[in-house]
Amino acid sequence: MSAPATTEKKFTEAFYKEMERIQGFYPNKAALLLPALHAAQAERGWISDTTMEEISAYLSVPKTRVKEVVTFYHMFHTKPVGKFNLQFCNNIACWLRGSEELIHHAEKKCGISLGETTKDGRFTISEVECLGSCGTAPVCQVNEDYHENLDAKSIDRLLEELR
């Protein structure tokens, strides 16, 4: 299968070196799907259809399998997101402790709605299913970092720190 036509850059040499380095830990090349998706998103910021096609070809797995995995996990983005992706947990523990109000507060402070990115590309606000931190609800994951026991004032401080 030939590489798809794209305006996106090819994966970096570092991407391929990392895949080669870790391949020995997996039973076959197809089992590298999750690490390949994480590495691709780290390079490109999101997983486009073209990226899915490239990973499909590289790992020799059907594109539908790649898309199934990308759309199953909330940590993979199928459209560009801001530098800081504020992912608010919307599961029952967070919801009961005010996550919906915190989302509205963040929307007002950032001047965007849920699912949108600020014009300067700095912030995206999104909802995700359970972040697994029910004991410290409400929770917001910003990129890879958890922020717990949130209230409006802590959201204000967080946004100010990230500006």
For residue range 58-90, what is the model confidence (pLDDT) as tens digits?
999 999 999 999 999 888 999 999 999 999 999
155 plus 119 within the same structural domain: yes
More confident residue, 119 or 3: 119
More confident residue, 11 or 65: 65
Give, for 110, the enclosing helix (H) or strand (E). helix 99-110
DSSP-assigned letter for residue 91: S
Q: CATH code at 63?
A: 1.10.10
106 plus 135 within the same structural domain: yes
CA gap 90, 156 in Å, rounded: 19
Q: Taking residues 137-150, report their average pLDDT.
A: 94
Residue range of the domain that includes 21: 13-72
Position 10 confidence tier, pLDDT thresholds 50, 70, 90: confident
* The last residue of a domain, from among 72, 103, 121: 72
Structural domain tally of the chain?
2
63 plus 133 within the same structural domain: no
48 plus 90 within the same structural domain: no
- Asked whether the beta carbons of 67 and 44 are under 8 A apart, the reply is no
Residue 93 within a domain = yes
pLDDT at 75: 86
pLDDT at 129: 87
pLDDT over 70 (residue 126): yes
Residue 8 within a domain = no
pTM of the model: 0.76
Distance from first CA to last CA of the chain, Å, rounded?
44
The closest of 65, 54, 150, 148 to 101, measured between CA atoms, is: 150
The closest of 98, 94, 92, 111 to 152, measured between CA atoms, is: 98
Q: Output phi, psi for 158, to 5 deg.
A: -60, -50
pLDDT at 144: 86
pLDDT at 59: 95
